[in-house]
Structures are given as structure tokens and as C-alpha cells.
């Protein structure tokens, strides 16, 4: 297999237990700098840029929000947003529960308050959100003709279950929810995924590359389609059972530098 592109998920895959890049991982990726290394995540671009800087790959594209936003330095290559009314209806539903709802558009992140969930996510991603009433944010976005690239809902597992049922019953054709944890639901436009983002990227920026020329790393449900579609799909040892079941190979866990170990051997 001729490798022309490498794509990697971030959380649970590339980062260690401190949610940082280890020295070994940085060294391994820099060692293969002739092959573009693309970060692909549900994170916002701002929460990925510091990782790009550490890897000296700030000149390369970023795939954010599970594929809803693809950027190059100072350029947006593709943007797919959740329809305004869908966001309004989700916010209204969550307001009747204790669920925390965050709104994301490009590098904007709005939270209604810096509660437990907002602080936790801020610590994980090293990004500080703006505090603003959700209704005001949505009203402003409507006037600016902007929509959410991602809606993050965090809270009690049973309440998240009810939100999942609400989405399945009312918006199954418009949005999809990724359950990264029992208490986390990351909501994205239905017609995008990490696979579709990679396909777009190679068509626009790497025309001599096909899916068969790509290695991809992942650990969670939203990585399955990506791992299945590329030439070599690698799961870390700590990946969900369903992810490990479809992977071409399994490397060590993220906290044991699984991505670096695979790259060193490969």
C-alpha cells in the first residue's frame, strides 16, 4: 500500500491521559513529515490549532466538528450547518431538563453558564467559551445567517437518553447524535461524517490520492465509517468494541502512544 495521507482522531486516540501529545507521538509524526498528517475531530478548530503547532503542520487542512467544517489557514474549504429551527427546538427541549447545551460555529463556542460541564470541556480542549443566553445566541446567529456546526449536550445519562429519543422521533433526517460517552451527545448535520470530509478533502486538495492510499486512526463510534473506508483503518486498544471489530489492525492504547508505535513500525 502506497500511503499518501494519514488522518487521525484526537481525543482517545492521539492524546495521552493528560490530553496532550506525548514526546514520542510528536517525534513519530515529525519523522514522516513528507506524508500529510490531518487532524480530524469533533473539536472546534481553535481546540486543534495548538496541536497542529506542536506537530509543525499548521499549513495543512483541519477537519473539525466531525466533518461539518473543513479549513485551511485563513480559508474555509467546506461548511455544513444545522438548520436554525432544529437548533431552536433542541434548545427548547434541553431547557426543560438539566442538560447543558453548548453551541458551536467555526471558532465560536457559546455556553449559558460556566457550570460543571462547561468547565470540564474547557479544561479538556484548552478553549474558553463565551457566556451568553442560548436564545440570544440563536437570535444573533439567525440575523447573521449563521448556524451551528455542532451542538454539544452534556448531562445525566437518562436525560441524554430522552434527548436521543426526541432527535430520533423528530429530526432523524436532519441531524445525527454521536454518543462519545453516556453523558455526552455531540450533534452534527446528518449528511456529513469524517468519511465524507476526507472524500471532499482529497478531491479538492489531494487529487492524486484515493481512499486506498490513506491510513486512519480512531477509537469511537464516529470513527467507524472512516476506518472502514480507507486503505488501512487502525483502532487503538482502548477503542470501543465495535471499532476494534472493524479495524484492519489494532495498536496500543492512546495512553501508551499507540499511534506513534504503529507509525514507527509501519
Tell me, what's the pLDDT at 92?
97
Q: Is 160 exposed, middle or buried (0-12, 13-18, 19+ CB in 10 A)?
A: buried
Sketch out the chain's domains with CATH numbers: 5-79+193-265 (3.40.50.1000), 84-189 (3.30.1240.10)
Residues 6+ apart with CB under 8 A from 85: none
Tell me, what's the pLDDT at 26?
98
Sign of the C-alpha dihedral, residues 124, 129, 131, 133? Answer: negative
Residues 6+ apart with CB under 8 A from 187: 82, 90, 150, 151, 152, 153, 167, 175, 176, 177, 178
Tell me, what's the pLDDT at 180?
82
Q: In the chain, which stretches have pLDDT less than 50?
A: none
Amino acid at each position: 500500500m502506497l500511503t499518501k495521507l494519514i488522518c487521525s482522531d484526537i481525543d482517545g486516540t492521539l492524546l495521552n491521559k493528560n490530553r496532550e501529545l506525548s514526546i514520542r507521538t510528536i517525534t513519530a509524526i515529525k519523522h514522516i513529515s513528507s506524508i500529510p498528517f490531518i487532524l480530524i475531530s469533533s473539536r472546534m478548530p481553535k481546540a486543534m490549532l495548538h496541536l497542529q503547532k506542536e506537530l509543525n503542520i499548521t499549513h495543512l487542512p483541519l477537519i473539525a466538528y466531525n466533518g461539518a467544517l473543513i479549513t485551511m489557514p485563513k480559508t474555509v474549504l467546506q461548511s455544513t450547518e444545522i438548520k436554525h429551527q432544529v437548533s431552536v427546538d433542541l434548545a427548547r427541549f434541553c431547557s426543560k431538563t438539566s442538560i447543558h447545551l453548548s453551541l458551536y460555529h467555526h471558532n465560536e463556542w457559546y455556553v449559558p453558564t460556566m457550570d460543571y460541564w462547561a468547565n470540564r470541556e474547557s479544561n479538556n480542549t484548552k478553549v474558553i467559551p463565551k457566556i451568553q443566553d442560548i436564545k440570544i445566541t440563536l437570535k444573533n446567529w439567525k440575523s447573521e445567517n449563521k448556524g451551528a456546526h455542532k451542538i454539544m449536550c452534556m448531562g445525566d445519562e437518562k436525560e441524554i437518553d430522552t434527548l436521543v429519543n426526541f432527535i430520533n422521533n423528530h429530526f432523524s433526517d436532519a441531524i445525527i447524535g454521536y454518543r462519545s460517552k453516556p453523558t455526552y451527545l455531540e450533534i452534527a448535520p446528518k449528511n456529513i461524517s469524517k468519511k465524507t470530509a476526507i472524500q471532499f478533502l482529497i478531491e479538492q486538495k489531494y487529487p492524486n490520492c484515493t481512499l486506498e492510499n490513506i491510513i486512519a486512526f480512531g477509537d469511537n463510534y464516529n470513527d467507524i465509517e472512516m476506518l472502514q473506508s480507507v486503505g488501512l483503518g487502525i483502532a487503538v486498544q482502548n477503542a470501543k468494541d465495535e471499532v476494534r471489530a472493524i479495524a484492519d489492525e489494532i495498536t496500543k492504547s492512546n495512553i501508551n502512544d499507540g499511534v506513534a508505535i504503529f507509525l514507527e513500525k509501519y
